Amino acid sequence: MPNVELKQTIVDEIKSKLDGASSIVLVDYRGLTVEEDTKLRKDLREGNVLYKVYKNTMMNFAFKGTEFEELKDHLEGPSAVAISYEDPTAGPRILKNAAKDFKNLDFKAGVVEGTYYDVEGIKKIASIPARDELLAKLLGSFQSPISTFARTVKAIADKAEETGAETAAVLAANKVEEKVEEAQEQTEE
């Protein structure tokens, strides 16, 4: 296979991997040991994130005309790409956790759901919890007011039962009558 055809095959492979990607992060992996790289690849694979090392020129050609085109400005030195398909924050988050342990792993830039982020921006994106964790927090925040409301309704029902009122509405009406009487007494004075 001639060299040009081989290069075009690699560019096409990269383009096919870009299809359907929700996020892409470029990192400089220079200085990682074999053990560190193996652990990083394992963690990314478990998070359903594709991690590959391609030549910068091949990635540059593949990025042209796509939403990831702005990343071409960061294709200097050794570059690896982490591509997330399902959870857009999975790749950045896993890489950030790995960078804590592997001091030689550096972010370059990224694109998440069509938006370009520089080094600082992609680090902030990496701080966003996983979708499931966010949903759990959201449901927890819903649960608190609903629980409070349920306890309040139960307290009103208990109070109605203690006073012999047939319904909570009767209890509420009695309260309103008491307030009206108090207001009338105050205006008479």
Summarize pLDDT for 126-183 with one digit per residue, the tens.
888 877 787 787 777 766 676 676 677 777 777 766 766 556 666 666 666 777 677 7
Q: What is the pLDDT of residues 7-54, one digit of tens each?
A: 899 999 999 999 989 999 999 998 899 999 999 999 999 999 999 999
pLDDT digits (tens, 9 = 90+) for 75-98: 998 899 999 998 899 999 999 999
CA 43 vs CA 9, 28, 185: distances in Å = 28, 17, 74
pTM: 0.68
Q: Are 96 and 40 in contact (CB under 8 A)?
A: no
User: What one-character DSSP code corresponds to residue 28?
Assistant: E
